Amino acid sequence: MCDAYVSWDGWYRLFIGGQSGQMPDTCVDQNRCSTHAPLWLNGSHPQVEDGVVTRNVCGHWNNDCCYFQSNPIKVKACPGNYYVYEFVRPNFCYGVYCAGKQICIRPFYPFGTGDTENDRSDDGISPGISLLQQFVFFGQAYNQVYINNNGYLNFDWPWNSYIPYQFPSYGVRDLIAPFWTDIDNRDNGVISYRQYTSGSVLTEATQDINQYFPALSFSATWVFVATWDKVAYYPLSGTETSFQVVLISDGHFSFVLMNYGTISPTQRYVQAGYDTISSRYHFSITGSLQSNITSLTYSSNVNVPGRWAFRTDNGLQGCQFNGNIISDVFQCNLETLSGVMPPASRDAPVPAAASSVARSPAVIPKPAVQLPSS
């Protein structure tokens, strides 16, 4: 197929299977999209407030992602969470504008087309994923990671638990838990991941980290994105919850972003944050182990609704809030629902809902739960 034969005129919205799609903004393998040299967007998609932007278009051939440099096109993000494109005739054949089920919902990083998917199962876990660049997590260097369907990452060995425990746990493993709860995506929802060492995703990560941590002059060389897209709670509840964790590094500094879309109400416990061996470093995000977990969609420690950002290499003991180190570890776990760190207080009580949860989950059969009515 060749889009140079098409008389393009005006703006176009992409659909796949009746759902909104978008042009990939990372390299597409050659001989895909029913053509020899598939066309992809060489630049990030805009946000609504950016208006109409111009982006270059590349065609992948001869193992060169931008072997063909086609005519630029205009792109616009529309309210309602979709994009439109002013396509023009490509300057070569054979090339076709690609489309994928890749929806970039702020504050999410790109996901979908090109990702590797976890098995659709209850309590599933990925195989060990070899990292293209070493990731340092509070002094410990890791070369692999496991993605658990139940909403967390761990590093050393495959470990599975559908019952979250409270952070800090003073336990024996390093965990990154954007949304640790009992997830069951056998009927609906996709869990996927992808690594990047070049392209627009690195540019986006560099901009984000320099905005949140402006004193570092950071330049990302590796990004790992794991996404839980419209997944359901156990048992086969049909609910849809979306979240994402992003690991970012330049080989020296390490960061974790946790991004939240729509969070369905649940009666199950949810732990969001991170924990380390012996809990020397830990953080529990607002709403964890409480009934208001849907607030994750709007809460933040970097003034971006639905996003939490942490530096996780060899930082000072404590946590980050709005880019600042909070050295009082007790205070780190007392953020309010409004996302404002309260004054330091060593006498403040641990929230009752959190303190009532066992630190180590018992291995018991899964009970059926009464789900909230829609």
Choose the weakest-confidence range: 18-32, 168-182, 342-356. 342-356
Residue 352 CB-density burial (10 A; 0-12 exposed, 13-18 middle, 19+ buried): exposed
Core vs surface per residue 188-212: b (16+ CB within 10 A) or e: bbbbbbbbbeebbbbebbbebbeeb
Rounded to the nearest 5°, which phi and psi values hold at 24? Answer: -65, 140
Percent of the chain with pLDDT strictly greater than 90 = 52
Mean pLDDT of 241-269: 94
Ranking 59-73, 92-106, 159-173, 262-276 by mean pLDDT, the lowest is 92-106
Please determine, for residue 319, whether its predicted confidence score (pLDDT) is greater than 60: no
With a cut of 90, say whether residue 195 has pLDDT above it. yes
**359 band by pLDDT with thresholds 50, 70 and 90:** very low
Give every strand in the sheet of 241-249, ordered side by side.
Answer: 116-117, 190-196, 222-231, 241-249, 254-260, 307-311
In the chain, which ranges are continuous DSSP H helix? 200-212, 329-332, 352-355
Average pLDDT score over residue span 112-119? 91
Question: Distance between CA atoms of 248 and 219, rounded to whole angstroms?
Answer: 10
Residues forming beta bridges with residue 224, ordered by sequence position: 195, 247
- The mean pLDDT of the chain is 82
Question: Do residues 258 and 308 make contact, with C-beta atoms less than 8 angstroms apart?
Answer: yes
pLDDT band at 365 (very low <50, low <70, confident <90, very high): very low
Q: Which residue in the block uniquely carries the two structure tokens 């087309």?
A: 113
Say what the pLDDT of residue 106 is: 58
pLDDT interval class at 47 (50, 70, 90): confident
Lowest mean pLDDT among 183-197, 307-321, 333-347: 333-347
Which backbone phi and psi does 276 adopt, to 5 degrees?
A: -125, 170
CA–CA distance, 304 with 285 (Å, rounded to integer): 15
